[in-house]
DNA sequence: CGTTGTGTTGAGCCGAATCAACCCCGGTGG
DNA sequence: CCACCGGGGTTGATTCGGCTCAACACAACG
């Protein structure tokens, strides 16, 4: 598996079919945060995945039935969300392949949110990660997981700024940059092109906008040749400009060996 | 609308003056989350507090100089915030007496935010909490800290919903309810009256509104007799109604000894 | 085929921002 | 003592970004 040079442009971008490759997004993501030892990578390859499937719209966890075990997204997109009494919905974060939920918590008092599958979603029990991280052997892995946690928090804060202080155009630009960054880290982008299997309604609920205005904002980005989108895929044409508009900054971590990805 | 089994309503609500009482907000807050053993409470009373003071506007931590040690707010209000290149500011969360920052992180890769003192602020090195929690003796304390962490995350999510999907009136109502809840838990409220030492500009930066509109929203709440405010203190006149408007729900935790249905 | 979900477009409205005064009050210094 | 000043709160007028309502286009699908 590619582990050092993160040149996602290699022609090896084949559909992931083989069993062992289901963990590729996680492995990539963590490797980018902290170099893993060969043994640690081996661990990740040997895991027996008890998978579970969800169809679009299905709830992976809900406020009534919180999660029992930590889990890992293998394929598909999900969203952590909260719904107001009158039906308004706010998406709190997107869960992409390689993302986990519930790893960190020991005495697990959990916040009332639900997680909905946005596309078809395949998850795996991620208890193994918790135990791996606990072992003294896998120091890098534990570090990587803890960094991943911090990155997740940083994304949350970005989201707050988007919703609180940015215009529709800025929000959208920023979110697209973030999603590209995350998908790239998981090896799921192709240069500046990446899958965006979301309806505009979902996007709107994430961006805190109406569907109509989300539509118009996307059109504006397209009209200005900043992005291109068709068929559930987006290509960022002008990364610099899009980042400028959204005031987007790649995750900068204090102690971590940040990988400069162009 | 009585809070959890919070014995805080006793008439012993005297101004905190004596030295040892600086930890009262923390002790109260944690006790509400998980009953502490006498020994644990004793620990909290014996701590040697190396204090540090900040004046309003001063930065307790910044993006350039992240925090070195975890700290605890003893007195005063602070805000975690992020500032956009053009000066727009979003307040990410308020730090009240008894709140901590940086406790949980071991390999400390920290997210780029700054924390500013809003009033005069007194903080203490909170390393002791980290070590206490690590000791096997103080299981309840560790639990309480971890629950506090979850509550903090829940507040973040509430904040996202406020900014993304609520109107100015709803946001304001919700925030006031939250602040009252938190201050009450720390023993810093007097029934439904509590201190709110914030300018409307600060409030605006938290609510994602303009100063002018924040002003008008507060007036509306006052005109409708939902709240009363003067001199840096707020009284919630109609808790039920205010909670309804803001769709506010008291923190409900999964495993905590709280019987959620109120 | 109709149906349903998603994207698109136009018209009109409204919540909130902006701009610009003005007030009040507590310094502060002449 | 008073004139001045600056920060914070308040108000009115106006603008504008984004919402709502209402169609319509189009593809996937039964």
Helix axes B24-33, B139-165, angle to 10 degrees: 90
> What mean pLDDT value characterizes chain B?
85
**pLDDT recorded at residue A210:** 98
Q: Which of A5-14, B62-71, B145-154 has the lowest mean pLDDT?
A: A5-14
pTM of the model: 0.88
Most confident of A38-52, A120-134, A212-226, B102-116: A212-226
* Residues of B contacting chain A (CB within 8 angstroms): 66, 82, 84-85, 88-90, 92, 105-113, 142-143, 146-147, 150, 153-154, 156-157, 159-161, 163-166, 207-208, 247, 249, 252-256
Which of these, B98, B100, B234, B101, lies nearest to B175 by C-alpha position? Answer: B234
- CB contacts of A89 in chain B (<8 Å) are 165
Rounded Cα distance between B226 and A131, Å, is 51
Query: What average pLDDT score do residues A132-161 get?
Result: 89
Q: Name the DSSP letter for residue A224.
A: T
* List of chain A residues whose C-beta atoms are within 8 Å of the C-beta of residue B82: 157, 160-161
Q: B121-125 and B193-195: which strand pairing?
A: unpaired
Chain B 200-219 contacts with nucleic strand D (CB below 7 A): 200-201, 211-212, 215-216, 218-219
pLDDT of residue B21: 65
Q: Tokens 């600086």, residue? A: B22
Higher pLDDT, A51 or B118: B118
Q: Which of A111-115, B121-125, B219-223, B255-259 has the lowest mean pLDDT?
A: B255-259
- Can you tell me the mean pLDDT for A8-24? 45
Subunit contact A160:B165, Cβ cutoff 8 A: no
* pLDDT of B20 higher than 70: no
Residue pLDDT, tens place only, A104-134: 765 556 678 999 999 999 999 988 888 887 8
The mean pLDDT of A149-167, rounded to a whole number, is: 96
First to last CA, chain B: 7
Give the residue numbers in A contacting B (CB under 8 Å), as ranges. 66, 82, 84-85, 88-90, 92, 105-113, 143, 146-147, 150, 153-154, 156-157, 159-161, 163-166, 207-208, 247, 249, 252-256
> From the alpha carbon of B198, which nucleotide's C1' atom is closest?
D8
> pLDDT exceeding 90 applies to what percent of chain B?
58
* Among A77-91, A167-181, A194-208, B8-22, the least confident range: B8-22
Residue B93 scores a pLDDT above 60: yes
**When comparing pLDDT for B180 and B14, which is higher?**
B180
* Angle CA A193–A197–A199, to nearest 5: 125
A80 in Cβ contact with A93 (< 8 Å): yes
Residue A106: its pLDDT value, please? 57
What are B58-77's pLDDT values in tens digits? 999 998 877 778 999 999 99
CB distance A81 to A114 below 8 Å: yes
Span of A158-172, B106-120, B191-205 with lowest mean pLDDT:
B106-120
B98 has pLDDT over 60: yes
- Reported as a pLDDT band with limits 50, 70 and 90, residue B139 is confident
Tell whether the model's pLDDT for residue B54 goes beyond 80: yes
Query: Average of pLDDT values for A34-42?
Result: 82
Mean pLDDT of the residues in chain A: 85
The residue of chain A with its CA nearest to that of B209 is A164
Q: Under a CB-based contact definition with an 8 Å cutoff, are residues B226 and B242 in contact?
A: yes
B218 touches B225 (CB < 8 A): no
Q: What is the pLDDT averaged over residues A131-148?
A: 84
Please check the confidence at residue A9 and state whether its pLDDT lies above 50: no
Q: Quick one: average pLDDT of A87-114? A: 86
User: Which of A71-75, B236-240, B257-261 is predicted with the least confidence, judged by mean pLDDT?
Assistant: B257-261
Task: Indicate left, alpha or beta for B98 from its phi (over 0: left) and psi (-120 to 50: alpha).
Answer: left
What pLDDT is recorded for position A143? 86
Q: A-chain residues within 8 Å CB-CB of B85? A: 247
How much is the pLDDT for A142? 87
pLDDT at position B71 is: 93
Residues A152-179 have a mean pLDDT of 97
> What are the backbone angles phi and psi of residue B59, rounded to the nearest 5°?
-95, 125
| Adjacent-strand bridge partners of B235 | B193, B228
> pLDDT (tens digit, 9 = 90+) per residue, A177-207?
999 999 999 999 999 999 999 999 999 999 9
CB contact under 8 A, A146 and B256: no
**DSSP secondary structure of chain A:** ---S---TTSTT-----SGGGGGHHHHHHHHHHSPPPHHHHHHHHH----EEEE-TT-EEE-SSS--SS-EEEEES-EEEEEE-TTS-EEEEEEE-TT-EESSS-SS----S-EEEESS-EEEEE-HHHHHHHHSGGGHHHHHHHHHHHHHHHHHHHHHHHHHHH--HHHHHHHHHHHHHHHHHHTT--BTTEEE----HHHHHHHHT--HHHHHHHHHHHHHTTSEEEETTEEEES-HHHHHHHHT------SSS------
Q: Which residues in chain B touch residue A255, judged by CB atoms under 8 angstroms apart?
A: 107-109
Mean pLDDT of A21-37: 81
pLDDT digits (tens, 9 = 90+) for A223-247: 999 999 988 999 999 999 999 999 9
Q: Is pLDDT above 90 for B227? A: yes
Q: How many other β-carbons are positioned within 10 Å of the β-carbon of residue B257? A: 11
Task: Tell me if residue B152 falls in helix, strand or coil.
Answer: helix
Determine the nucleotide nearest to B170 by Cα–C1' distance. Answer: C15
Q: List CB contacts (< 8 A) between B254 and chain A.
A: 66, 108-110
């Amino acid at each position: 598996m590619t582990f050092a040079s993160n040149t996602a442009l290699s022609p090896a971008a084949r559909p992931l079919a083989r069993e062992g490759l289901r963990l590729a997004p996680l492995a990539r993501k963590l490797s980018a945060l902290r170099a893993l030892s060969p043994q640690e990578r081996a661990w990740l390859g040997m895991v027996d995945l008890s998978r579970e499937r969800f169809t679009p719209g299905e709830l992976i966890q809900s406020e009534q039935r919180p999660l029992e075990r930590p889990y890992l997204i293998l394929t598909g997109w999900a969203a952590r969300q909260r719904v107001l009494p009158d039906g308004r919905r706010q998406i709190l974060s997107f869960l992409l392949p390689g993302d986990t939920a519930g790893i960190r918590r020991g005495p697990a008092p959990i916040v009332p949110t639900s997680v909905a599958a946005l596309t078809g979603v395949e998850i795996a029990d991620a208890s193994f990660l918790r135990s791996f991280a606990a072992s003294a052997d896998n120091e890098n892995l534990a570090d990587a997981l803890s960094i991943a946690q911090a990155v997740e928090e940083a994304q949350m804060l970005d989201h707050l700024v988007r919703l609180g202080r940015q215009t529709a155009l800025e929000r959208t630009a920023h979110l697209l940059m973030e999603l590209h960054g995350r998908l790239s880290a998981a090896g799921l982008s192709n240069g500046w092109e990446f899958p965006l299997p979301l309806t505009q309604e979902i996007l709107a609920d994430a961006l805190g906008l109406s569907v109509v205005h989300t539509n118009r904002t996307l059109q504006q980005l397209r009209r200005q040749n900043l992005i291109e989108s068709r068929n559930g895929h987006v290509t960022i044409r002008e990364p610099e400009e899009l980042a400028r508009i959204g005031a987007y900054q790649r995750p900068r971590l204090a102690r971590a060996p940040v990988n400069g990805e162009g």
